[in-house]
Amino acid sequence: MFKLTLLSALSASMSAVYAQDILGLSYNSTSPYGQSQGILSLVTGAYGYGMTEAAGSAPTLSATYDSTTKTLTQVCPHPGLIAAMIPVDGSSPAAYAIEWVDSTVTLPEGSTTTSLFPANQGLDTTLGTKETVWYINGVFKFVTLNGAFEFGWVDEDYSQNGDVTSWIDTSDGSSITC
């Protein structure tokens, strides 16, 4: 009886640890005109699924981060897709679309699947230069990739973006179901 109880307790505690690793993804934005927040929903992208902002308060998109492979992998609604930052041709400053792609998809030169990581209850990137107000690299905002208008990232600070900054928030996504 003791072994079974101990095994059940260990199993439950391991499940709780795993559940905490699932990140619910949403967006938040601040500007001189106020703040906005909502959920991220998926749209057809150039190489997989891009993200767009949508109304709502409970995230429907979840992912896990693997600190060994440095990849962000979608749990819901399309398990196994990985987050990729895909360069927008001809952009200055550097701009990237963020898409969820199959690991077998051939991405354009300069793309990365190891640059997004969780930090300070949100996502940050290893690309660009850390700005000194929000302490994140660049700004998350909409970009156009091959005609698709989707959430992305640009190597500029909030003042270069009209005092507007957006970011991808993370929360406990263990209750999100596909």
Residue-level pLDDT at 19: 38
| pLDDT for the residue numbered 18 | 40
- For 42-85, the pLDDT digits (tens) are 999 999 999 988 887 788 899 999 989 999 999 999 999 999 99
Domain assignments of the chain as residue spans, ordered by start? 22-172
Residue 18 corresponds to which amino acid?
Y
Low-confidence stretches of the chain (pLDDT < 50) are 1-20
| pLDDT at residue 59 in the model | 85
pLDDT of residue 108: 96
Q: Which residues have C-beta within 8 Å of that of residue 6, sequence separation ≥ 6?
A: none
Phi-psi region of 155 (alpha: psi -120 to 50; beta: other; left: phi over 0): beta
Burial environment of residue 33 by CB neighbours within 10 A (0 to 12, 13 to 18, 19 or more): exposed
Determine the pLDDT at residue 51.
Answer: 93
pLDDT for residue 85: 95
Q: How far apart are CA 131 and CA 129, in angstroms?
A: 6
């354009």: which residue's tokens? 108
pTM: 0.81
